[in-house]
Structure 1
Amino acid sequence: MGYSSEPISEPTYAWRELLQRWSDDWLDPVLHEDERVEPFPAEVRAARWLGRAGADDGKITRLEARLGRRLPPSYREFLQTTDGWLNTTTEIDRLLPAGEVGWTRDLAPGMATWTTDTTLKISHTPDATATYLLNPEVVTAEGEWEAWYVAHWIDVVIRYRSFWDLMNCEYDSFRLAE
């Protein structure tokens, strides 16, 4: 039996805990069912989880090869926890699974003209009113890419140090809306 000489890395970000709280809050019928255009599917409510199974290392490696870059740690761990996610707020329809993530210039060329064509588009909203982007041009010492919240009704890009910071802020905003 062979063993890897590399140390086993523990998750740095508490994604499962955060996302489980978010799922429980969204799925509380007293608090949010009336905010949704259509209710969450029965299987989502039964599982009490708005996500999917996590992406395996092969899927993440293929995404990184397609992009030509290593993903930032917090986003990489997010994908390992859940390969896609339903609604973070009423503005964001879903976070994309690894197979649908891509450069803004390729997925939303019109958006790239007023942001930057080097950002990574990681969310989807049918009417394209709001989105989450990751900016590989601004990177922390830990390898985190700057995360952006962009919406047509605001004149600025709201910037966060990392995807983890963006999602925690979005969760806090979601909770305040209750």
Structure 2
Amino acid sequence: MEANPRGIPKAPFVENVEDHVSEQEPVEIVLRKFQEAVAKYKFMEVNMLQRKRNLDAKIPEIRKTLEMVQFLQSQASKEDETKEIETLYELNDTLYATAKIQPTGKVCLWLGANVMLEYPVEEAADLLKTKLESALKTLKNTEEDLAYLRDQITTMEVNTARVYNWDVKQRRLARAKAETESKE
């Protein structure tokens, strides 16, 4: 079965409904399978949208942290290491405080799960660049997967409509045939 690079299966397009529906697989079973496939694709889409939202929130934070580390890196590399840096830092969403800091060549980064580690400024900058590149790549892949999933959902919905319409047509033909036979 075909799939995209991250393993999401490709939805088959039903060219000829008669070939797809048979005695072994009546219309009701085919429609149920199609509806299950649509539900699976929509479940994947919801998960991808959540991942995208998380990345959309995470990437600006990584960028902001990287900019700050690069600023500290530039300050630490100047000759006058005794000069203090006056800055505002965020205590809460709308609350800031003023601080004077001495460049030390080290910085502490939150890694997640309530873990903070101290890094040399250069190592922290490299780590943040790597995290940013990874997050941007994951965001790109997630956006590609979302577009792919939308295509697969559309394909399965079209398949469902085609099979349903074919079934309605077959029932009408059978009813018309039964009516003409009963008149004879």
TM over 0.5: no
Q: TM-score range by the shorter chain?
A: under 0.3
Which structure has more relative contact order (CA 8 Å, sep 6+)? It is 2
TM-score (normalised: structure 1) = 0.23
Q: Which has the higher helix share?
A: 2
Structure with larger Rg: 2
